[in-house]
């Protein structure tokens, strides 16, 4: 029993030492904040259009290797407002109010260098959203909320150990009660690492 405890203690110490060592050699490791601004698009049911959206995120990454860092993130986004369209033509429906979609994210992310400055990134997690809009078979406006999912990929350039600029594509799933406000966002991101 004593040998088992000693072996477990050594494994635990080694498991914590490897990420700490890799963090020193991977500039993407550590605390970070980033912001995205870009074009959002919806092409579901009554909604077919685009607007401007933004997202703010923060989190922590652990350096797994000199070229890979994996971490956790939380954030908030507002994915814009889009007018509902008439099924028979492109005119707006009687309800002049626009769709709305915004919410909180919590998930995992990765930063993978393909050379010393260029990287690809990925993220996925839970999306706790609130939305407003009209469904396909009901012209009444509904206020909905639900927890669903989000996922995205990106490519970017590390200007230094602290700053990077990226281009991202993200999908935010938002469906409930015959109302589908699922939104895609193509955005530019700026990240600062502490």
The answer to whether residue 152 sits within a structural domain is yes
Higher pLDDT, 86 or 182: 182
Instruction: Quick: pLDDT tens for 101-160.
Output: 899 999 999 999 999 999 999 999 999 999 877 655 556 666 788 999 999 999 999 999
The answer to whether residue 92 sits within a structural domain is no
Please tell me the distance from the alpha carbon of residue 62 to that of residue 28, in angstroms, as a whole number.
8
pLDDT of residue 78: 94
The answer to whether residue 89 sits within a structural domain is no
Higher pLDDT, 61 or 46: 61
Q: Which residue has the tokens 């690492």?
A: 193
pLDDT of residue 173: 95
Inter-residue contact 44 to 182 (CB < 8 Å): yes
The answer to whether residue 175 sits within a structural domain is yes
What's the pTM value of the predicted model, to 2 decimals? 0.79
The answer to whether residue 91 sits within a structural domain is no
Q: Rounded to whole angstroms, what are the CA distances from 57 to 36, 66, 137?
A: 9, 23, 36
pLDDT of residue 147: 95
pLDDT of residue 46: 66
The answer to whether residue 184 sits within a structural domain is yes
Please tell me the distance from the alpha carbon of residue 126 to that of residue 105, in angstroms, as a whole number.
6
Mean pLDDT confidence for 8-26: 49
The answer to whether residue 73 sits within a structural domain is yes
The answer to whether residue 181 sits within a structural domain is yes
Higher pLDDT, 6 or 158: 158
Token pair of 172 as six digits: 């935010």
Give the total number of structural domains in the chain. Answer: 1
Question: What CATH number does the domain containing 171 carry?
Answer: 2.40.160.20
Expressed as residue numbers, the domain containing 111 is: 1-83+99-132+145-193
| 69 band by pLDDT with thresholds 50, 70 and 90 | very high
Please tell me the distance from the alpha carbon of residue 177 to that of residue 194, in angstroms, as a whole number.
43
């Amino acid at each position: 029993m004593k040998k088992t405890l000693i072996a477990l203690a050594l494994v635990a110490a080694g498991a914590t030492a490897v990420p700490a060592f890799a963090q020193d050699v991977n500039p993407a490791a550590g605390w970070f904040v980033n912001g995205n601004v870009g074009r959002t698009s919806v092409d579901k049911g009554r909604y077919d259009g685009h607007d401007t959206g933004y997202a703010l995120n923060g989190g922590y990454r652990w350096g797994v290797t000199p070229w890979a860092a994996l971490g956790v993130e939380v954030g908030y986004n507002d994915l814009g407002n889009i007018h509902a369209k008439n099924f028979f033509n492109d005119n707006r429906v009687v309800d002049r109010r626009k769709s709305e979609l915004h919410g909180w994210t919590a998930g995992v992310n990765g930063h993978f260098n393909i050379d010393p400055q260029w990287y690809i990134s990925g993220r996925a997690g839970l999306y706790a959203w609130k939305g407003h809009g009209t469904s396909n078979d009901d012209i009444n406006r509904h206020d909905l909320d639900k927890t669903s999912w989000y996922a995205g990929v990106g490519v970017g350039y590390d200007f230094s150990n602290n700053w990077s600029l990226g281009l991202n594509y993200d999908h935010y799933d938002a469906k409930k009660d015959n109302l589908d406000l699922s939104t895609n966002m193509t955005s530019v991101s700026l990240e600062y690492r502490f």
